[in-house]
């Protein structure tokens, strides 16, 4: 399969736009990394019939990646056709761009794990692009956003790695996977740290727990339950969680991923066509209200003598 010119141009432009950041902070990589994990979990739940609780260790993270890539979209039962020559060309192009950005540190053995991890993630992004042609969301797009924000990154659950690059991560005794990021600058002061990172929390474990709870206690839109009830059900399973955290990090993510239904009366497990239509109608109504507001603002802008679009 020959990759079309439009796709070649797109990926080449993405790579040309990569520039490592001068300053390093968690804002550059924390949100896109969690989004990357959210989208990986979405495909796990979507493809799996038996959803188990997930402790996001490094091994589980790697298994999720393999699982997602292997559950491809087949056309007429045929294997996806992947342009491996194109993937090799793009990964080499990215590696050259990164090393150019690193300058004198381009061959640093210290930075090699970060370069390798970043490029490996980009390669998975390209493989998913070919093997899941019918999917709009690529879980590795969010990971690539970390690089676009100017950071190389190493995804690991190895505490020796934490100790070597960012010892602060050892304060978290979780066995979950973590991410360590680096930019191109050299520390200006002896006490400055060139790296930043964090260990992921247990939100993805709770997402699978809540998904299973809704399947058990809120199957179908007629049995929708409020967030407060879900919090209570979690407490009964010795899972204490702040209500706002439950709404923002668990329910909102599951809802946005299309994994659970929602309506005015609460949240529910989507069991059949009627349930799916119900949540689709609910969100369509919300979208129509937003469109009405936008139309009003555009008319007001015209009256004020300018175009807002």
Mean pLDDT value of segment 218-234: 97
Which 3 state secondary structure label does DSSP give 218? coil
Mean pLDDT value of segment 39-65: 86
Confidence category of residue 273, pLDDT binned at 50, 70, 90: very high
State both tokens at 72: 């491809």
Pick the CATH number of 203-288 from 1.10.10, 1.20.1260, 3.30.40, 2.40.30: 1.10.10
d(CA 148, CA 271) in angstroms, rounded, equals: 39
Q: Which residues pair with 88 in a beta bridge?
A: none
Confidence category of residue 2, pLDDT binned at 50, 70, 90: very low
Q: What is the pTM of this model?
A: 0.86
Q: For residue range 118-176, what is the model confidence (pLDDT) as tens digits?
A: 999 999 999 998 888 777 789 999 999 999 999 999 999 999 999 999 999 999 888 99
- Judged against a pLDDT cut of 90, whether residue 201 lies above it is answered with yes
Residue in this structure with the two tokens 């342009």, named with its chain if needed: 83
Q: For residue range 255-266, what is the model confidence (pLDDT) as tens digits?
A: 998 999 999 999
CATH 1.10.10 in the chain is located at 203-288
d(CA 259, CA 270) in angstroms, rounded, equals: 8
Q: What DSSP string describes 93-156?
A: HHHHHHHHHHGGGTT-TTTHHHHHHHHHHHHHHHHHHHHTTT-S--HHHHHHHHHHTT-EEEEE
- Judged against a pLDDT cut of 90, whether residue 217 lies above it is answered with yes
- Judged against a pLDDT cut of 70, whether residue 207 lies above it is answered with yes
């Amino acid at each position: 399969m020959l990759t079309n010119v439009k796709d070649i141009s797109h990926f080449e432009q993405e790579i040309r736009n990569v520039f490592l950041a001068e300053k390093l902070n968690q804002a550059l990589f924390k949100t896109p990394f969690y989004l990357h994990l959210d989208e990986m979990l979405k495909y796990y739940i979507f493809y799996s019939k038996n959803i188990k609780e997930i402790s996001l260790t490094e091994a589980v993270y790697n298994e999720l990646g393999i699982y997602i890539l292997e559950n491809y979209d087949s056309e007429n039962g045929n294997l996806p056709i992947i342009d491996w020559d194109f993937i090799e060309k793009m990964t080499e192009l990215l590696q050259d761009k990164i090393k150019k950005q690193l300058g004198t540190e381009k061959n640093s053995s210290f930075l090699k794990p970060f370069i390798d991890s970043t490029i490996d993630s980009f390669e998975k992004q390209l493989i998913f692009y070919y093997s899941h042609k019918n999917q709009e969301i690529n879980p590795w797009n969010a990971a690539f956003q970390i690089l676009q924000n100017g950071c190389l990154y190493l995804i690991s659950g190895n505490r020796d790695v934490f100790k070597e690059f960012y010892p602060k991560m050892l304060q978290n005794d979780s066995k979950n996977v973590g991410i360590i990021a680096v930019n191109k600058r050299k520390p200006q002061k002896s006490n400055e740290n060139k790296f930043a990172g964090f260990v992921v929390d247990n939100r993805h474990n709770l997402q699978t727990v809540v998904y299973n709870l809704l399947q058990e206690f809120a199957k179908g839109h007629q049995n929708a339950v409020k967030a407060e009830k879900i919090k209570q059900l979690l407490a009964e399973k010795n899972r204490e969680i702040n209500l706002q955290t439950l709404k923002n990090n668990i329910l909102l993510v599951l809802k946005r991923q299309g994994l659970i239904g929602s309506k005015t009366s609460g949240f529910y497990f989507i069991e059949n066509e009627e349930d799916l239509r119900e949540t689709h109608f609910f969100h369509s109504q919300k979208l129509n209200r937003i469109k009405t507001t936008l139309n009003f603002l555009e008319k007001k802008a015209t009256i004020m003598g300018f175009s807002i679009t």
